[in-house]
């Protein structure tokens, strides 16, 4: 999780507390059926279950590796957006007055308009990444849990209201009319650079450098959209999910008879412990199932790195950090620089 403090073992237990309770109840119920109600046929050989467990471990490991690759690639993409955004504004600012002490008033205004339009692009992109897809369901499930109350800025206010301070009325209407709003804003940026070059405020060489940075940002946007719009293949995710649950249902019926046999051996030297030793299977079974289920959940949590769960890439905070950086670069009035987002429960979004 992108939590500002160390993600402790206690946090893992809180994260999976519902599953732990269910696993404990389930293991206890099977033990009662076997031991108290004498339903002795409620058992399966341990060896086949162990083979299933091995297969499940390989499947869950593969799923976790694939999910980690997706979330790490998403983090690298947004790291590239950070660098390219800073470079774009710094390059533009210095390109105006390469041989002069300071920019003219019209040039300063052009830099300000361009920078605010880039803030609008960052805003539109993070809103696009937070758009709900049919295969993304983690947010609703997790956010219902009081432990994981957290702030997702994109769900608190409409996109148009967030874009309005950074775009003119005409530009805002044009952008909102497009399906791909970040792409529309990049188009406005390119047009603005061409206009400044035609007015002899930018050199042609400076235009080429700035256009290359816009192309880099467009490429990073496309990579981010690729992860957002192409889900982790469900044939792998679904198989892993079902395999873990098959293993979960079979494991108590394999472990309980084993503990019962061990209890009969222990009863020869310690009758009291031997009589009740079969009940010790409950914590052991819960631990094994919990490990497999937690590994499965970790993989599922990383499949969609932009959907808005505590495990996602914190694109809201990254975007707001870039916004503050570039507005400070152009020496914007501090009152017009938005504050960092509030991180409820120390969870970055």
Inside any domain, residue 204: yes
Contact 317, 349 (CB under 8 A): yes
Inside any domain, residue 4: no
- Nearest CA-CA partner of 243 in 286, 296, 284: 296
In order of 28, 60, 247, 284, 305, the CA distances from 34 in angstroms are: 10, 30, 19, 17, 44
Contact 320, 312 (CB under 8 A): no
Report the C-alpha dihedral over residues 306, 145, 289, 281, rounded to 10 degrees: 170
CA distance 313 to 229: 16
Inside any domain, residue 1: no
| Structural domain count, the chain | 1
pLDDT score for 9: 65
What is the mean pLDDT for each group of 10 consecutive residues in the chain (349 residues)? Answer: 49 77 88 84 84 86 84 91 92 70 74 91 90 66 52 81 90 91 92 87 82 93 90 73 86 87 84 83 89 83 76 84 90 83 65
Inside any domain, residue 140: yes
What is the pTM assigned to this prediction? 0.81
Q: Is the dihedral of CA 297, 303, 309, 315 positive or negative?
A: positive
Residues shown for the chain = 349
Inside any domain, residue 19: yes
Inside any domain, residue 3: no
Inside any domain, residue 2: no
Inside any domain, residue 261: yes
Strand partners, 347: 3
Q: Inter-axis angle of helices 315-329 and 46-96, to 10 degrees?
A: 10
pLDDT score for 150: 67
What residue numbers bound the domain in which 143 lies? 9-346
């Amino acid at each position: 999780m992108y939590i500002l403090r160390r993600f402790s073992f206690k946090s893992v237990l809180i994260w999976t507390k519902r599953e732990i309770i269910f696993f404990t109840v389930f293991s206890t119920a099977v033990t009662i059926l076997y031991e108290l109600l004498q339903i002795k046929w409620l058992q399966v050989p341990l060896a086949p279950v162990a083979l299933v467990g091995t297969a499940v471990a390989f499947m869950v490991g593969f799923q976790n590796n694939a999910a980690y690759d997706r979330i790490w690639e998403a983090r690298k993409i947004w790291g590239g957006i950070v660098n390219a955004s800073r470079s774009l504004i710094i390059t533009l600012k210095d390109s105006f007055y390469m041989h002069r002490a300071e920019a003219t008033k019209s040039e300063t205004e052009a830099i300000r308009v361009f920078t605010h339009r880039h803030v609008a692009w960052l805003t539109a992109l993070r809103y696009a990444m937070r758009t709900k897809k049919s295969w993304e369901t983690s947010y609703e499930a997790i956010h219902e849990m009081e432990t994981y109350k957290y702030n997702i800025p994109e769900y608190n206010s409409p996109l148009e209201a967030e874009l309005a301070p950074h775009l003119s009325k005409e530009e805002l209407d044009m952008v909102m009319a497009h399906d791909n709003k970040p792409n529309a804003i990049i188009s406005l940026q390119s047009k603005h650079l061409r206009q400044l070059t035609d007015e002899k405020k930018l050199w042609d060489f400076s235009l080429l450098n700035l256009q290359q940075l816009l192309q880099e940002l467009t490429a990073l946007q496309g990579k981010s959209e690729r992860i957002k719009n192409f889900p982790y293949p469900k044939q792998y995710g679904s198989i892993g999910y079902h395999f873990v649950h098959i293993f979960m249902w079979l494991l108590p019926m394999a472990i309980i008879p084993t503990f019962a046999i061990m209890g009969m051996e222990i009863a020869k030297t310690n009758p009291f412990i031997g009589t009740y030793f079969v009940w010790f299977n409950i914590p052991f079974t819960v631990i094994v199932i919990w490990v497999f289920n937690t590994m499965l959940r970790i993989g599922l949590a990383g499949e969609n790195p932009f959907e808005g769960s505590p495990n996602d890439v914190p694109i809201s905070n990254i975007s707001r950090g870039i916004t503050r950086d570039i507005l400070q670069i152009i020496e914007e009035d501090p009152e017009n620089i938005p504050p960092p987002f509030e991180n409820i429960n120390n969870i970055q979004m």
